[in-house]
Amino acid sequence: MGEPMEKFFDGRQILADFITSYYTDFESDLTFVAEINKQVVGYLTGCRSQKRQRMIFMNKIIPPVCLKFLFKGLIFKSKTRKFCLNCFKSVLKGEFNHPDFSRDYPASFHINIDYKFRSLGIGGELIKNYLECLHQKRIRGVHVTTISQKAKEFFRKMGFTVLYYRKISYLDHKNLFFIILGKKL
């Protein structure tokens, strides 16, 4: 989906597991898939409570993913090592530290649309379906995190407001921003 991860990371399945395992293994009822002609062109994976998601992520997702990463020798691949070092530097700098918005915006999601299928309304439909599920479950708000200015504008068009905006150096980019947007339901 999106831009190919192989540009910066060699272990496609490991990175996919890292990003999506919580959602598919613990809250699969909030996973939505978009298909065109039986081809997956996008997905949205969501959770009701990011606090719960973080706890499970730290205890049940990260340990096995890290083991796979080490056993497959990905640390020895130069672009993967560079990506991991840049992520680690960003963590040490506190670039991903941010205010806790979970009281008013407890739910969160990850969305990805194949770049060839963007601007066709697919992302908007996935988000509408997710928000309807959250509304039925009486969840009071949802937030999403991005480093993309295009994504920020897309979410704003979907009714989200910027809650937090901070310049970061993640992945050695000079003008990159860590953005959190929220929407009350």
Instruction: Give domain 5-184's CATH superfamily.
Output: Gcn5-related N-acetyltransferase (GNAT) (3.40.630.30)
- CA angle 147/153/155 to nearest 5° reads 85
Q: What is the pLDDT of residues 128-166, one digit of tens each?
A: 999 999 999 999 999 999 988 999 999 999 999 999 998
SS3 35: strand
Q: Which amino acid is at 162?
A: V
User: Is this prediction's pTM over 0.85?
Assistant: no
Q: What is the pLDDT of residues 82-100, one digit of tens each?
A: 777 777 887 788 877 888 9
